[in-house]
Amino acid sequence: MAVREILEVSDLGLDPWEGFVYLKWFMNDELSKPNETITSRRPLEARLAHRPEVLARLHQLADTLDQSAGDDCTADQAEARVSAQVRQLALEVLAQWAHEANAHTQAQVKEHNPAAIRHGKKKR
């Protein structure tokens, strides 16, 4: 159950805002409720089975996190490692998306316009 607490701004020591009301929300039970969208999802391994490059990159990211936690590295070094992996993941996800979108578009063209010439010179 959500608990609301109403505080006067003067209680917070914010004198210029005296007279205003500050509403503070506490969501105590938010994590205890089962999220229906999360529980109905397929496992990530199953969802990425037809995208092996993305799955491999996610495993590399997890490996990098494990290595960074085990190494004696600074926060800056860990951030650099993880940032590089996330950038590479983003590139691979976008490349996968472009490949799938291109294949989908080509299939739609064949379906909607079967007389279209796929390869060849344009007629003038």
Q: In this structure, is residue 118 part of a structural domain?
A: no
Q: In this structure, is residue 119 part of a structural domain?
A: no
pTM of the model: 0.55
Kindly tell me the sign of the dihedral angle through the C-alpha atoms of 69, 71, 72, 73.
negative
Number of domains in the chain: 2
Kindly tell me the sign of the dihedral angle through the C-alpha atoms of 43, 44, 50, 52.
negative
Q: In this structure, is residue 120 part of a structural domain?
A: no
pLDDT in tens, 14-46: 555 555 555 555 445 555 666 666 667 888 889
| pLDDT given at position 6 | 55
As a whole number of angstroms, the distance between CA 68 and CA 81 comes to 8
Instruction: Based on the fold, state whether residues 54 and 100 are members of the same structural domain.
Output: yes
Instruction: Based on the fold, state whether residues 28 and 83 are members of the same structural domain.
Output: no
| pLDDT given at position 38 | 65
| pLDDT given at position 65 | 86
Regions of the chain where pLDDT drops below 50? 1, 9, 26-27
Domain extent, residue 25, equals 1-41
Q: In this structure, is residue 73 part of a structural domain?
A: yes
Instruction: Based on the fold, state whether residues 49 and 33 are members of the same structural domain.
Output: no
Instruction: Based on the fold, state whether residues 57 and 82 are members of the same structural domain.
Output: yes
| pLDDT given at position 75 | 87
Instruction: Based on the fold, state whether residues 67 and 51 are members of the same structural domain.
Output: yes
